Amino acid sequence: MRIVVLTKPVPDPASGGERLLPDGRLDRANSPAVVNGNDEYVLEKALKLIEAAGEGEVILLTMAPESAPETMRKALAMGATRGVLVTDPAIAGSDAVATTRILAAALKTLDFDLVFAGVDTSDGTAGVVAPGVAALTGLPYLSYAASVDPDEAARKVRVKRITADGYEVLEAPMPALISGTQALGEPRYPSLKGIMAARSKEITTMSLTDLGIDGTSVGLDGATTKVVDSRPPEARGATKVVRDAPDEAARQIVALLAERRII
Amino acid sequence: MAGIWVHGESAADGSLTKLSTEVATLARSVAEQLGGAEVTGVVIGSDPAAAAEELATFVPKVLTVKEPTIADNAAGMIVAQRLAALVEANDPDIVMTGAGPEGRDVAGALSALTGWGVLANATAVRGDGGGAVATHSVFGGKLITESGLTGSKGIVTVRPNAVTAEPAGSAGTVEEVAATGELQQPAVPIVDRLEAETAAAKIDDARIIVAGGRGVGGSDGFGLIQELADALGGAVGATRAAVDSGWIPYSQQIGQTGKIVKPQLYLAMGISGAIQHKVGMQTASTIIAVNRDPDAPIADFADMIVIGDLVEVGNALLAELRARSG
Amino acid sequence: MRAVTTASRAQGPFRLTDEHQMLRDAVRVLADDRVAPRAAEIDKTGEFPEDMRRLLADHDILALPFPTEHGGLGGELLSICLAVEQLSRACATTGLILAVQELGSLPITLAGTDEQKERWFPGLASGEQLIAFALTEPEAGSDAAAARTTAKRDGDDYVIDGSKRFISQGSVADLVVVFAVTDPEAPRHQRLSAFVVEVPSDGFAVTRVEHKMGIRGSPTAELAFTDLRVPAANRLGEEGEGWSIAMRTLDRSRPGIAAQAVGIAQGALEAATAYARDRKQFGQRIGDFQLVGGMLADMDAQTEAARQLLYKACVEIDAGAPDASRWSAMCKLVAGDAAMRVTTDAVQVLGGYGYIDEFPVERMMRDAKITQLYEGTQQIQRLVIARTLLGKAD
């Protein structure tokens, strides 16, 4: 079974170094990049599936600046088979529309049974790319997966989709595109063997020309949205520290709630 | 003059979602800021009547499309296709949806089908210079950005609790529109539905959330959290540590890989406030923490931190709240 | 123009790659979760921790020093040292298991034939077998060339007679690399040859296991060889090459000890800092008193300096620096002294509590001392460095 996992390098949320350049693009030089958190869950699921099947490939597909191979290493160290990196200077500053087009075009060059994506990313949390890619590629779209059960022989896949009241169980023929959540299971820590093996795994690069996409239609020039302002969030104000005994502390909490008309 | 559309989502029981009432309210104020643009609601479903009627109390005109296939198939892609057809026929300028799972699925597919850009996860939207300007909280809340569309058309997805829902003065009209054209995208059938084990109040748009973390110590401990939530009329939330330990389902998880919420009150019991959780609740209007550790990160951004044992303080608070309601 | 520094072989400004960081983090997680809880007990019982050896083997950590074609992970010196450092931060004895596996196998790596590597590396890489390095004798410590153990050729074998002392893991190893005199008449540095002795073997005995100040879980043994037959096929390199093999081994293995020292220092620094944050006297946490804070600052700076020198030494040595001996000696010298100073100060910060075994710093201080002694005393390291600076005497 071949599973393509869409992964995105994002600024490390723990680093605190994220900031924007004057033109509104993320200053990628200022913060180390890591694999997007949600992508790790779907990657873990993909790895578990091919391990259970005893055969198969997990292929990472990333659209990112040229330095991305460093973040792909961790995913390869976890056990992915190989990586495909779409990179091109003209891509810088691309919005969700361009990203969706580029990823869809890249998918058309690959053979696969399933495509996995994280439901959203920690650096924009738009959650619109996966459904967009499904629409452009015409793949059946199964989202917010808490579980994924492929039946390779029957060429079908079943997904438990998280809804407001519980789950919908969806079924689609393969190939299909599935967006997944944390509920798919904790990502493994790469083993030493995996870490060392990653160095010799293949990462192929593709440019916009390879995908037949005109550079001026993507990137900052082709963007459909633009950042018009940015500012730090409003300071919250001083924290009141209450060290009194429980009864008195409870009275103070209630007083604050009343003061703010919450109760 | 700009036309603003509001995509109304239906809950399982056919009623309009709370989020959609907020989006509709927001659309009206954006329309006013744009010099009186036209606001139209759209409800697409297998039985859209009830939701459409409710949406009509928020906007002057609602279009409904009856799409029977939605009853037994994954809705997002089907709704997006019908919506794209309507958009093409009627030429609005802005389509606003909720930024929950349903809204995002629709917005993402609609964007691909129309080529329209998306201003995503807006915590606020205003009309400015002829178009919509959305406010976003990015990088885990470290930065607030405002963005607009480079063209005249676009989609905006709106986070819960961006505004308080407010019905319009008078009821609007509901007009049924026939679905036209073949659905091109593959339908994905729903072969089964499973109810959640616990009928927990939803945290997504709760006004008050009482959340428990590692300090709660076990699933029994969440009993107190539930009691507090009930006493305050709120919902129960949790950190990832509590979910991973199996004390509470993932649907209640707040944080980077769970839900991002913006309640009026976030009462954090035994929660350290590490960044992965903080990004999920830091925009709550009032944050009160109860923690044994005065150096917990949450002390840096809470409005009040009570240093103490969460069970003792929790029980005292329950007593106090019950005494008040008499 | 004379160069100010010879740090030029390794490419680019130095930073740990993502791979190094992943590796370090993977070992650190293991060290925190599985090794640290055992450290005090290992020191108390003084028993070789078989469970730790098993743990390292199961997680492929013992495979790091070996080439991939023989079941190893093909780790470079820096990768091995990162692992030793993280393990030693939790438990110096456990970190030593990897360091000794590297030390013992280096003679085979440097001088063994493909057939010999094929024979021994798979077992070592899997962690099924342990290897020890037997150079030191009762009368030949710093003056290793003065070894008296002999190896006399007899047909297809050599017969080894003599004894070795202070051999790390000598009583638990399956393979022992023994340096013995094959030509007593030859010039000083051409008298010795290196042999791999497979244990157990007739004529091989462990006559003593020392009671030591520190690294108490690592058995330090005295070995006796009496008419011990070893096939000529187990000789590494040529006759007379033993001294050279030993010196080249130490050039590559000393960073491993530096890594152990840096790890011990880091562990002590963290323990002392945590204590200084929690402990309150005179109404404030003791870390806020300048005399204490100043000590912690020095400890941090010394540990970091030793660490950065170690990492740099590793990449320079791996890049084939001609003054590898100097890099190797420097990093071990600096790290060993840093570990001793930092752990002593850690005990000081904890005061009375630092002196009792309820807290780990007294163990760390006892553990640190050996890093100033083995694989060449600090004085030997200084000789090596001075010789590189000054060149040979006229």
Ranges B68-77, B89-98, B132-141, C83-92: which has the least confidence: B132-141
**Is pLDDT at C13 greater than 70 in this prediction?**
no
Q: What is the pLDDT of residues C26-74, one digit of tens each?
A: 999 999 999 999 999 999 999 999 999 999 999 999 999 999 999 999 9
pLDDT, mean of residues B315-324: 93
8 Å CB contact of A262 and B312: no
Partners of residue A176 in chain B, C-beta under 8 Å? 188
pLDDT at C34: 96
Phi, psi of B235 (to 5 degrees): -115, 160
Residues 29-58 of C with CB under 8 A from A: 29
CA gap B68, B46 in Å, rounded: 4
Chain B residue closest in CA terms to A232 = B143
Is the overall model pTM greater than 0.90, yes or no? Answer: no
| Nearest-CA distance C20 → chain A (Å) | 9
| Residue B133: strand, helix, or coil | strand
The pLDDT confidence band at residue C2, using thresholds 50, 70 and 90, is low
**Is pLDDT at B212 greater than 90 in this prediction?**
yes
Closest by CA to B307, choosing from B287, B318, B288, B291, is B291
pLDDT, mean of residues A44-49: 97
**Is pLDDT at A125 greater than 60 in this prediction?**
no
Q: What is the pLDDT of residues C172-202, one digit of tens each?
A: 999 999 999 999 999 999 999 999 999 999 9
Q: What is the pLDDT of residues A158-202, one digit of tens each?
A: 999 998 888 999 999 999 999 998 889 888 889 999 999 998 999
pLDDT, mean of residues C154-174: 97
* Nearest residue, CB atoms, B137 vs list A132, A138, A233: A233
CA gap C361, B118 in Å, rounded: 57
**Is pLDDT at B316 greater than 60 in this prediction?**
yes
Partners of residue B193 in chain A, C-beta under 8 Å? 166-169
> Across chain A, what does the average pLDDT equal?
90
The pLDDT confidence band at residue B326, using thresholds 50, 70 and 90, is low
pLDDT at B201: 75
Residues 69-128 of B with CB under 8 A from A: 74, 76-77, 80, 99, 101, 104-109, 111-113, 115-121
DSSP class of B10: B
Is B41 within 8 Å of B61 (Cβ atoms)?
A: yes
CA gap C256, C95 in Å, rounded: 9
pLDDT at B103: 94
**Is pLDDT at A142 greater than 70 in this prediction?**
yes
Is the minimum CB–CB distance between B149 and chain A shorter than 8 Å? yes
| Nearest-CA distance B49 → chain A (Å) | 20
pLDDT, mean of residues A256-261: 92
pLDDT, mean of residues A68-93: 90
**Is pLDDT at B279 greater than 90 in this prediction?**
no
Q: What is the pLDDT of residues C322-357, one digit of tens each?
A: 999 999 999 999 999 999 999 999 999 999 999 999
Partners of residue B274 in chain A, C-beta under 8 Å? none
pLDDT, mean of residues A6-30: 76
Reduced DSSP (H G I as helix, E B as strand, rest coil) percent helix, strand, coil of chain A, to 5: 35, 30, 40
pLDDT at A90: 92
Partners of residue C27 in chain A, C-beta under 8 Å? 192
Q: How far are the Cα atoms of A240, B91, C5, C168, C336 from residue C331, in angstroms, in the given order? A: 50, 72, 15, 21, 8
Ranges A26-35, C39-48, C220-229: which has the least confidence: A26-35
Name the residue with higher pLDDT: A230 or B1: A230
Percent of chain A with pLDDT over 90: 63
CA gap C26, C24 in Å, rounded: 6
The pLDDT confidence band at residue C250, using thresholds 50, 70 and 90, is very high
CA gap B78, B85 in Å, rounded: 11
pLDDT at B318: 95
Is the minimum CB–CB distance between B305 and chain A shorter than 8 Å? yes
CA gap A34, B217 in Å, rounded: 31
Which residue has 């035994």 as its token pair? B270
Q: List the Cα angle C199/C201/C206 in 5-degree steps.
A: 70
pLDDT at A67: 75
C-alpha count within 13 angstroms, C-beta hemisphere, residue C173: 33
Q: What is the pLDDT of residues C253-289, one digit of tens each?
A: 999 999 999 999 999 999 999 999 989 899 899 999 9
Residues of C designated catalytic: 375
Is C273 within 8 Å of C279 (Cβ atoms)?
A: no
pLDDT at A26: 74
8 Å CB contact of A195 and C26: yes
pLDDT at B157: 96
Is C157 within 8 Å of C231 (Cβ atoms)?
A: yes
| Nearest-CA distance A189 → chain C (Å) | 7
CA gap B83, B183 in Å, rounded: 11
Return the C-alpha torsion angle B95, B98, B99, B103, nearest 10: -80
Is the minimum CB–CB distance between A16 and chain B shorter than 8 Å? yes
CA gap A13, C105 in Å, rounded: 42
pLDDT, mean of residues B7-34: 94
pLDDT at A122: 63
Burial of residue B247, with CB atoms counted within 10 A of its CB: 0-12 exposed, 13-18 middle, 19 or more buried: buried
Is A82 within 8 Å of A190 (Cβ atoms)?
A: no
**Is pLDDT at B224 greater than 70 in this prediction?**
yes
- Count A/C contacts: CB-CB distance under 8 Å: 43
Ranges A73-77, A153-157, B105-109, C156-160: which has the least confidence: A73-77
Strands (E), B35-172: 38-45, 61-66, 94-98, 117-122, 124-128, 131-138, 143-149, 154-158
Closest by CA to C332, choosing from C367, C379, C285, is C379
C-beta atoms surrounding B282 within 10 Å: 23
8 Å CB contact of B186 and A164: no
